[in-house]
Amino acid sequence: MNFHAGAWEPGENQITQDFIMNHYENSKKPRRVASVTYLLIMAVILGGTYLSNQKKELAKKESSQVIESPAIFSDTSVQN
């Protein structure tokens, strides 16, 4: 940094800082879009996992009820 009588003079560092800030400012929108896209993808994955687990638990509960309940045609004899 160049200092002269207590005042800061723009120099090579200022150009570099301006470039970095412009790059940072220009990349804000794509970064936000990327982060929102990431969050949406994660929400879909987590939501799908949750729904899948709920479906599996319901199927397991129904299958255990079917096993415990008597068969409808259990008294029917089979003839060959």
Report pLDDT digits (tens) over 9-45: 556 677 787 877 888 888 899 999 999 999 999 999 9
Distance of alpha carbon 39 from alpha carbon 22, whole angstroms: 26
In this structure, the strands spanning 7-9 and 2-4 are antiparallel
pLDDT at 26: 85
Q: Report yes or no: 60 and 53 within 8 Å, Cβ to Cβ.
A: no
| Residue owning tokens 């879009």 | 33
Distance of alpha carbon 70 from alpha carbon 80, whole angstroms: 24
Read off the pTM. Answer: 0.53
